[in-house]
Structure 1
Amino acid sequence: MIKSHADFAKRVDALFGQFSEAEMPGAVVAVTENGQEIFASAYGLANINDNLPMGRKTIIRIGSQSKQFTVLLILMLEAEGKLSLEDEVQEHLRYVPRLEYPVKLNHLASNTSGYRDHLEMMTIGGLSIFAPSDRQTVRDVIATQDGLNFKPGSAMTYSNAGFFMLSDIIEQIEGATFNDVLRKRITGPLGMDDTSLLLRDGLAMKRLAAHYTKRADGWAHLGWGIEFGGEGGMVSTLDDMVLWQQNLTDPMVGTAQMYERMSAPCVFDNGATGLYGLGLVTDVYCGRRAVGHGGAVAGGKSESMRFIDDGLGIVVIANNDQVATFAVAHRIADIYFGISAPALIKLPPGRYRQEGGTNVIEIVDQNGVPTFVSSDGVTGFDFRHPGGPKPERSVTDLVLSPRPNGTIDGTFCGTPRIYVPLVADPRAAAPLAGRYVNNAQGLEVKIDGDVQRGVFRLRSDIGAMKAPIVAADKDLWFLLQPSTGMHAGLPWSATLSVTGNGFELNSERVKRLRFTRA
């Protein structure tokens, strides 16, 4: 535990030192001990143009932290007999298709539904998430889905679509907007007066921070064009999120039983325990249980984490995309508990493919430290995680362990995997050139190229997308990141796996999207 509050404050301040320079966005942070605040500070500017500093009352997007509020509203409605988490989705939403297996509301709330993420599906379909679109567009995208990523309950893959559907169900049952229900049932009674749903980036609001991304020529404003709901549309302040953490520990709104259900990790069909509960994530860090959730939006990141057996609470909210808030919360915990830096586990750099599968990961060496890369982003490792190094981000059930022969053992949602190195100069067995369709979703693809590279052109009812492809293996291609995507600038956005009559597209949150030759 900390020996000196002054030393603790100095060391936490150092984590945010990059924002001490002029004309920088920043972050706000608070640390509580058994409900009492022991540290709070604000760094950088809420608005660079107007030289407005960040503060406790600055309103900032909290992204997917919204999901815990959405689930609480669902549990409240269940307690009133207005729904059941055992209900199938179609009992409430007619536009959602019935696919290979029944999907229940508890699957939506635990990210185990198998529904494809609508943000990635929009990008794949050629509709940039930076371009204006409305909620009906999302319903249309969900309504045309022709398959699930996996059997519900068998795995966990992050799906904003599930929480979009829960938001729709809340509005439908209550006959009111999500924001009105939120204020009536949660934020109003708790006095979280600055917490609400901000439907779209660009809307005016007093004390609202601008959100920024870092580019080669400096900081730039960044905002998405989509409309948000309970999947990620809320804004809040440092003060309000500290209130929310206190409510999770000592409920004034909701019940202790509801929060126990939300934080209870899911159990997969194979008997393995995952990380995601119902809108909350429970992990073990250095032998200590940590419960919380993070968020990422255009130009912003956040994390709320409670070490529930130790009385430690941490809130970090940034108005830029350069703060790895989940890792920063861990570093604050390291300082508080007096945890020293871990011994590094050597992971050979290179790209690796799941043996017998399509998943690809990359290990890169950054100043002697192994770093994890996938189509979902770049992150460091938690080298203390039991079972092997785990990517240090809030929602992932992948754990790795190197073998002496150069392969890597992996465990994903309790299922073993083996990752084998990809060759440095791959060539496909044959060009993927041709025309392909997915008729159910109105997708048409034309590919030109040879056995090493090509151009992928897609047209759909909602847009168009053009991106390079490069061979990754004899039967596997990388679809490189389009500039319209959530993670532009990463090495690849999806893989294209050659099948007998076409190919199958797999990304981080969209699986088994099949195309056949036209």
Structure 2
Amino acid sequence: MPRKSLVSSFLFLGLMFAPALAAAGECAERHQGSLPTNRHKQVDAIFAPWSGKTTPGCVVGISRDGALDYARGYGMSNLEYDVPITPQSIFYTASITKQFTAFAIGLLAQEGKLSLGDDIRKYLPEMPDYGKTITIAHLMHHTNGLREQGQLLNLAGWRGDDLYTEADVLWALTRQRGLNFAPGSEIVYGNAAYTLLGVIVRRVSGKSLRAFADERIFKPLGMADTHFYDDHTELVPRRASAYNPREGGGWRISVPHNDSTKLFTTIVDLLKWEQNLLDARVGGPELIALLQTSGRLNNGTATLYGGGLHLEDHRGLRMVGHDGMDGGYRTDAILFPDQRLAIVALCNNGTIAPSDLTRKVAEVYLGELLKNVMPPAVKVPEAELSALVGNYWSPLTDAVVRLEVKDGALRQVGVPTAFVPIGNGAFRPGESMHVWRFSKPVANAPHELSIKDTWPTTRDFIRMTAPTPTDSALASFAGKYRSDEVAMTYTVRVADGKLVIRWPRRDEVVLDAVGGDRFVGSLGTVTFTRAASGGIDGLTISHRRLRRLRAERLVGG
């Protein structure tokens, strides 16, 4: 097969980016600014809360222009055996993995063995034909519309600590009759797409993703402590365990159980990879440029997500990177290409937000270059905040946002972060740059809410005005509901004046009424549907990365 370009629609952008890679080294010193001599003590202070011998913690690594500037562990790798975290500790990186999977796809594209514009059914013929083409590029950029694998398995009866495999994910995905959205019309981050990319690597190369990455990525870069983990029974020397808080105090082990595209690595190895994103020693400038080139929606809108990398402007500086979260593992790896500064934090404590920590480290190293772009807070009378309280529903996603005023601030129900008013009906959640904006009241019309986060598509909501069902009406929702898409039957009943739903191997979930036939619980939004006669004929379940999975009401159920 003749060699093809990575993908024609990205080629000219990649070639434009390549000179920037070459020029970055020439201007690195000019843009790094002066470094504080006590910077390592400042980094230690950032991680000090997790430096004791009774808590899991983090390891941080910082490199400048390819040279290791600092690496240190804080807290314990294993609480049972009193093993401390060190720069040699091996962590599961969660979604940092995605950039390596995308890179493997790019290597195969360089060799002409696939094209990013290919229909995924060319390599995954068992996937349903939805009448609209899903391409490899759609998978890479999260514009594919696939329902999320973890949520599907949850609804199929898997528990959070159950083992699941690549085959289990394929079982769930191949049963789906619908998508969240038409491919290319939106971006919704998810894991299913990258599981499928790993399968494509195996089917095209004839090697497992682990073997392919070892040969083509990790060994050439000298990443001797890095591998894709495809056997949950395998011993991994120096592996850090992971933990979450135990109710009532202390810690519980919280380690993911799956054999599907998991990456184990060290802080030192990840910094070698970050350097490759600068000097393109493996893969070459075109492939590195592809990873750092934004995908686009059908209407041309940039998604600000490349090949397994978020593409951001952080306080006026270009930044690429990715975070990860699974079980008690929390990870973040960021790179400032123009300053040639890489910062990686790997944590085994589910209460830690490493993205906050890496940015605090960036402030130590780049403080004089970073702009203050946080919108300032303004005063809003509590009466105005109270006017915004209520339940808001998104017609697009079927999601429900519940807002309350607590301790003098507007908040999401059950979420501790307070909303900070920034003027003109807009709020930011805490210190986030996300914007929640409420429309000005219009006579005889409900408030509307738009949410703008890191993704380019604004999510629109309307305040719900339909009354909640009376206690006597709740019984009409009770019954059995069957979804063949996850091979599961759900039982809905009334308990203690509320609807509850359960299915085999899962705890019962309480459903809170939010208006009309719509309810919310820990599994998301449950919306009951009605036949033309007015009787309830089914329900749909929507949760974050899964929209309107349908279950039909069983006759006599």
1:283 and 2:312 are equivalent in the alignment: yes
Aligned to 2:534: none
Alpha-carbon separation, structure 2, partners of 1:311 and 1:499: 54
Equivalent residue for 2:488? 443
Local SS of the residue matching 2:59: strand
Please give the alpha-carbon distance, in whole angstroms, between the structure 1 residues aligned to 2:518 and 2:420: 30
Structure 2: gaps (5+ residues)? 1-31, 442-446, 531-536
Show CA shifts across 1:171-192 (max 9, x none): 1222222211110000001000
Distance in 2 separating the partners of 1:151 and 1:182: 32
Q: CA offset at residue 373 of structure 1?
A: 7.8
Q: Does 1:104 align with 2:141?
A: no
Alignment of structure 1 residues 24-39 onto 2, 5 Å: 24-39=55-70
The aligned counterpart of 1:198 is: 229
Q: Does residue 431 of structure 2 align to residue 401 of structure 1?
A: no
Looking at structure 2, the residues matched to 313 and 101 of structure 1 have their Cα atoms a distance apart, in angstroms, of 40
The partner residue of 1:503 within 536, 539, 556 is: 539
1:372/1:208 CA distance change after superposition, 3 Å = farther
Q: How many residues align?
A: 494
Query: SS at the partner of 2:546?
Result: coil
Residues 466 and 507 of structure 1, relative CA distance in 2, 3 Å threshold = same
Structure 1 stretch displaced more, 97-106 or 465-474 = 465-474
Q: CA–CA distance in 1 between the matches of 2:90 and 2:235? A: 12
| SS in structure 2 at match of 1:96 | coil
**1:352 shift after superposition:** 4.4
CA distance in structure 2 between the aligned counterparts of 1:39 and 1:372, rounded to whole angstroms: 39
Tell me if 1:353 matches 2:406.
no
Residue 263 of structure 1: how far off its partner (Å): 1.8
Q: Following the alignment from structure 1 to structure 2, what is the Cα–Cα distance between the partners of residues 73 and 311?
A: 24
1:488 corresponding residue in structure 2: none
Superposition pairs of residues 99-248 of structure 1, within 5 angstroms: 99-201=130-232, 203-216=234-247, 217-229=249-261, 233-248=262-277
Structure 1 residues 408 and 133: alpha-carbon distance in aligned structure 2, compared to 1, 3 A threshold: closer
CA distance in 2, matches of 1:415, 1:301: 26
Give the drift of 1:337.
Answer: 3.2
Does 1:70 pair with 2:109? no
CA contact (8 A) 2:53 2:82 kept: no
Distance 2:360 2:407 in 1: 19
The one-letter code sitting in structure 1 at the alignment partner of 2:357 is: V
Q: Distance in 1 between matches of 2:84 and 2:229?
A: 21
Q: Which amino acid aligns with 1:409?
A: S
In 1, the alpha carbon distance for the partners of 2:430 and 2:116 equals 30
Q: Per-residue deviation at 1:75?
A: 0.8
Q: Is residue 20 from structure 1 mapped to residue 51 from structure 2 by the alignment?
A: yes
State the Cα deviation string for residues 107-151 of structure 1 (Å, max 9, x = none).
Answer: 111111111111110011111131133332222111111111100
Q: What is the aligned partner in structure 1 of residue 515 from structure 2?
A: 473
TM-fit CA distance, 1:80: 0.8
The code of the aligned residue for 1:456 comes to: I
Q: 1:383 deviation in Å?
A: 9.9
Amino acid at match of 1:158: Y
User: SS at the partner of 2:220?
Assistant: helix
Contact 2:324–2:332 (Cα < 8 Å) also in 1: yes
1:86 aligned onto 2:117: yes
Match of 1:517 in 2: 553
Match of 1:312 in 2: 341
- Does the CA contact (< 8 Å) of 1:295 and 1:302 recur in 2? yes
Cα distance in 2 between the residues matched to 1:382 and 1:55 = 38
Give the structure with higher Rg (CA).
2
The question of 1:410 aligning with 2:448 is answered no
Query: In structure 2, which of residues 18, 29, 36 is the aligned counterpart of residue 5 of structure 1?
Result: 36
Q: Give how far 1:73 is off.
A: 0.6
Please report how far the alpha carbon of residue 4 of structure 1 lies from its aligned counterpart in structure 2 after TM superposition: 5.0
Contact 1:2 1:8 survives alignment (8 Å): no
CA shift in 2, pair 1:328/1:361, >3 Å: farther
* TM-aligned CA distance change 1:79 to 1:237, over 3 Å: same
Distance in structure 2 (CA, Å) of the matches to 1:218 and 1:464: 25
Q: Report how far residue 427 of structure 1 moved.
A: 4.2
- TM-score using structure 1 length: 0.86
How much has 1:433 moved relative to structure 2? 1.9
Query: Would the aligned equivalents of 1:202 and 1:223 in 2 still touch at CA under 8 Å?
Result: no
Distance 1:381 1:190 in 2: 44
- Please report how far the alpha carbon of residue 257 of structure 1 lies from its aligned counterpart in structure 2 after TM superposition: 1.5
Cα separation, partners in 2 of 1:399 and 1:95, compared to 1, 3 Å:
farther
- Corresponding residue number in structure 2 for 1:324: 353
Range moving further from structure 2, 177-186 or 212-221: 212-221
- Aligned equivalents of 1:28, 1:169: Cα separation in 2: 33
Which residue of 278, 281, 286 maps to 1:252?
Answer: 281
User: Per the alignment, in what secondary structure is the counterpart of residue 503 of structure 2?
Assistant: strand
Is 2:210–2:230's contact at 8 Å kept on the other side of the alignment? no
Question: 1: distance between equivalents of 2:118 and 2:135?
Answer: 5
Q: CA deviation at 1:197?
A: 1.3
TM-score normalised over the length of structure 2: 0.80
